[in-house]
Structure formats: structure tokens, C-alpha cells
Structure 1
Amino acid sequence: MTQPAIRLSGVSRRFRRTLALDSVTVDIPENAITGLLGRNGAGKTTLMSIIAGHDRPSTGSVEVFGTDPFENAVTMSSISFVRDNQRYPEDFTLRQAIEVAPLFHAGWDAEVAERLIHGFRLPRKTAIKKLSRGQASSLGIVLGLASRAPVTIFDEPYLGLDATARRFFYDSLMQDYLDHPRTILVSTHLIDEMEPLLEHVVIVDDGRLVRTATADELRGSAVTLSGLTAAVDDLAEGRRVLQRRSIGGLTSLVVETRADDDLRAQVARTGVQLTSATLQDLVAAYGVQNDTREGTLA
């Protein structure tokens, strides 16, 4: 079996009274685009910071290509971590950020950087602190993709980008990955937009791992049943219900089951609407499941 690029074993991270990560054990495959999905405050940024070697777990262990990344210069040089509010020296310009980037990443590709700068229409001479949020996000994308780092991590890289710029990012990410496969980990709330790019998915909620699988496995793992409450409940009997929404006499359920011929035949007899659950549906549903276990309302 191929060794994962990233391995977390029993990773917890506590900030005083707040448990940001709770015993997370997960493998992230090498040379794949993995989506790290979950609600705000689920623990995604903390998890990424630990993987990048910028923080260390309170308990548990993390390995990137078999070594602990924390304060490990060799391992950290193989990681590019792009996040919001990246810090730069005072009055540093975009041009200066691009000029020093090769010092941190041996695989830096200046041609890719130039193409992305042109595509995002970034001002080279402007101080980074004066860039708009979208421009700052675009700079992060340039640094991440052009780094050609064996592990490239994007924490919500699209903040402030309009639809056209986001599409340029998605296309550039996929093309660069196809040209130079590597381990890419990206967190996003725009799940429907990024879903076509994802090969592997890790879902976290309230600091816990709730599901990890290939994107194809997840896409086929659940359905949405919508219709009259009695008919929907009959179809869902004996199956795991991840999420329930009811209005009057109508109910919509996200159910963990495959849309096989038997289920389709049952649906055809009842008038209930059957659709495949999207990744967005599943992330929301697993969050509701977690709230239910904690005894709170979603």
C-alpha cells in the first residue's frame, strides 16, 4: 500500500479551555487534490497549521513524508502554506514577494508565476498592504502554485475573488496539477464550485474527523429524499438519516444509502423525489449530526 503524504495520529490541539482539534487520525494521499471541508470553527485552519509545521499538536503526532514538520527546516521547505492575512515585511511590494519566493522553494517556477500575475492582473509595484483582499488572495495563489512545493496547502484561497477570478484559479490549479502532480490540500466553503477538482475529501466538525473518503465514494454514499412526510419516512426506515428538514406535511431527508435499483423502484411507487446528495449536502448533514450528538439544535 502506498504511504500517505501526510499522516495524523490522535492529533489534538487545545488553546486554554478551547479544544480546537480532538483526536484526529487521518491519512492524506500523495499526489492528489484533497478537500478539507467543514463549517466555520470546525478546526480546518488549525489542522492545516499543524500539517505545515507552523504549530504543533498538544497530543498526538503528525508526519509529512515520514517526518515531523514542526521546526524542521527540510520538511517545511517542501511545504507551501497559503492562508488569509499572510504577513510580509512593511512596505513589501508584490514584485519583492515574487523575487524572494525562490529562496524558500527550490522548485519555484518563474514562468508559472508570470502567467498567473498576468491572468490576475496584479500590480507589481504596489505595496502588499495596499492590495485589495482579492488581490492579496491572488498573490497567495501565485505563491502557492508557482512554488511547485511537494505539499501545497490553500486555506480558503478565493476570499475576495469574483467569479471570473475564481474560475481562473480553478482552471490554473487543475492544469498545474496535471502538469506537475503533487499533494494539494485545500479548505473551502465554496464546495459546489470546487467539487469537480477534488479527488479525496476530509470532513471535520467541532474539531473531530467525521468522514474521509475519495470524492467518488462520498458522492455515491447518500441521497436526498423529498416529499410527503409519511412516504419519506417509510423509505428511510432502517437507513441512517443524516439530516432532516420538515415544513408542514413535507419532509426532506439526507440518507446514507446508495441509489440502487431497489430504492429507485420504491421511490417510483411513492412519488417521493430522489436525488444524489452533493458534497455540500453531506458537509451540512454531518454538521447537523454532530450537533445532535452534542444535544444542540442545528
Structure 2
Amino acid sequence: MIEINNLTYAYNNTPVLTDFNFIESEPRIIALWGRNGAGKTTLMSLLAGHYRPDQGSIKILGQEPYNNLNALENICYIQENHPFGHNWRIGDLLRYGKYFHPNWDQEFAEHLVEIFELPPRKKIEKFSKGMKTAAQIILGLASNAKITILDEPTNGLDAVRRKQFYDALLESYEENPRIILLSTHHIEEIQPLCETMVVVNDGKSLFYEQMEVMREKGIILSGDMDVIKEVTKNVSILDSSKISSTQKVMIDELFTAEWKKIAETNQLTIEKATLQDYLINKTLNKNKGVKK
């Protein structure tokens, strides 16, 4: 459904994506993570047909999206601050959504308006941040586009509204399986919903893994400095701190029974790093080659 081969794109002669590769042929909910400037917004814009690749290719259901109306019928890209008509109200969103998206689900859209309690008479541009985000969610999920891209879909939502979004997302996906790409800086809440994960770093795909594998990456060890040094001599250390003779390190390893046994044998404390902390440290250290 999505095929990206050797994609390169530069903005004002500054490389943004370089030799980027990604292939997904099955319906999935996919998390897209990257630090600011990593290239993920450009990637989403290229998928949505906003730009033409400088080199390489992008295929959506076998078609190039750039300047291709047939391909764009299968894509819905909801930007973080999605542009709506200056005078649009919720009724306009419900009315015009079906003109742009042939698989539009009017009943589901109206249901979400009720769930998110959006005011019908108020202009969308006058909405609070959370209400604007809810309007964007409605447009994205009700589109039923075969490639649905949501950029930071929880921004401005409180805990209750985030829960409502997650429920709506899963309901929409179960009714209409498709590729739903969720871009987020806040992976901890999103990751239980996702089957796979793409990590963009320095304009390339650092990871494309099953989420169950990503969840196990990153181990934190604490204990005697000399013991830590010996145990970690052949692995990558992503982060390290010291207090007196005690050291705490994050290592780039899977949280396995073998590492639990190593920690127990050497009287070290072991815990699983959060996925967010692992990714931050992994992308900070990717080019450092830290070895101990």
C-alpha cells in the first residue's frame, strides 16, 4: 500500500530525507516518531503528494501521489494545525468532507461530533486548541481513506478526550482496516494502539519494527561502577550517570531473561527503560558510537 524506495528530498538545498526506504503492504496502525527536524513532517507531506521527491520514488497503492488526483482520493493527511475554511463551522466540515473523500462515513462523523461535544454554531477558527484537534480527528477518521495520516492527533486534548480519541481510532480501524499513520512526540500513550513503529532520524529510517520488539529495547542497570564497566564492556551505552561509586547506565539491548540473570548474578539493579527515553537517547547517540 505504501512503497518508498531510496527517497531523497532537500529544502532550499538542505537535505531533509536521504535514501529513505519504507514498505508496508498490510493495514496497520503505525506510530511515526522523530525528534524535531528529523524529517517526519516532510515525509508525511511527500506521502500526501504535497511535494515531488528529488530522487527515488513513492507509491501509494501503486501510484505516485504527487499531482495525481486518483492517488490522492486514497489519502487523508491531517496536519497538526490543519487548515479549515475561514468561516467553516462543524456543519461545513461534515458537508465538505464527503466531497474530498469517496469513502466518507457521515454517520460516524456525526457520532464523533456528539462524542467530542463540539458547538455547531461556532466557527472552527474560534475553537480552543482541544476542540480544533477534535475537529481534525473527525475529518481524519471519518474519511476512511486507505492511507490516513494524523500528525500529533492528541495535541490539546485532556485525558478524557484522549481516551475518546483512542476508542474512536480503534473503532474506525476495526470497521475499516487500513494504514493509519500516527505521528507523535509522545509515544508512551500512543504505543499500545500501534502494531508497528517507524523512527525517523537524520533523514533516514532508523527503525521499522513491530511494536512488541520496540517495547523491549533499552535496559537500565545500576550498581557498583567497576561491575557495570565489566558487564557492559561489549555493548553500546546510551546514557550514563554516577553518584560516588555507583553508576547508572542505559544500554542498547533488549530486556531479556538473559540480562535479568546477568544483573542478578552481579548484584545489579535492572529495569526496563521507557520507550520514550530509549528513543531520545538512541537518536542522541546514534552517531557517537559509544562503547564501553
> Do these two structures clear the TM 0.5 threshold for a shared fold by scoring above it?
yes
Q: Deviations over 1:28-72 (max 9, x none)?
A: 342101111111221111100101111222221111111111111
Q: CA deviation at 1:206?
A: 2.3
AA aligned to 1:50 is L
The DSSP-based 3-state class of the residue aligned with 2:9 is strand
The match for 2:158 is 162
Q: 1:136 is matched with which residue: 116, 132, 136? A: 132
Bigger CA drift: 84-93 or 108-117? 84-93
Q: Deviations over 1:124-151 (max 9, x none)?
A: 2211211112111110100111111111
Q: 1:268 is matched with which residue: 261, 264, 271? A: 264
The match for 1:126 is 122
The DSSP-based 3-state class of the residue aligned with 2:168 is helix
Q: Mapping of 1:269-284 within 5 angstroms?
A: 269-284=265-280
For structure 2, the 5+ residue unaligned runs are none
Q: Mapping of 1:168-207 within 5 angstroms?
A: 168-207=164-203
Question: Percent same amino acid at aligned positions?
Answer: 32
For structure 1, the 5+ residue unaligned runs are none
Q: Is the 8 A contact 2:141 2:172 kept in 1?
A: yes
AA aligned to 2:7 is V
Distance, in Å, in 2 between the alignment partners of 1:231 and 1:110 is 62
1:233 aligns with 2:229: yes
1:80 aligns with 2:79: no
1:247 aligns with 2:219: no
Q: Is the 8 A contact 1:210 1:286 kept in 2?
A: no
Q: Mapping of 1:205-220 within 5 angstroms?
A: 205-220=201-216
Distance, in Å, in 1 between the alignment partners of 2:127 and 2:257 is 54
The DSSP-based 3-state class of the residue aligned with 2:288 is helix
RMSD after superposition: 1.8
Q: Is the 8 A contact 1:43 1:205 kept in 2?
A: yes
Q: Is the 8 A contact 1:244 1:251 kept in 2?
A: no
1:116 aligns with 2:112: yes
Q: CA deviation at 1:246?
A: 0.9
Q: Deviations over 1:53-98 (max 9, x none)?
A: 1122222111111111111111111111111222223212221111
Distance, in Å, in 2 between the alignment partners of 1:89 and 1:264 is 56
The match for 1:53 is 49
CA 60–251 in structure 1, closer or farther in 2 if over 3 Å, else same: farther
Normalising by structure 1, report the TM-score. 0.91
Distance, in Å, in 2 between the alignment partners of 1:255 and 1:29 is 33
The match for 2:144 is 148
Distance, in Å, in 2 between the alignment partners of 1:142 and 1:189 is 21
Distance, in Å, in 2 between the alignment partners of 1:88 and 1:266 is 56
Bigger CA drift: 275-284 or 7-16? 275-284
Normalising by structure 2, report the TM-score. 0.92
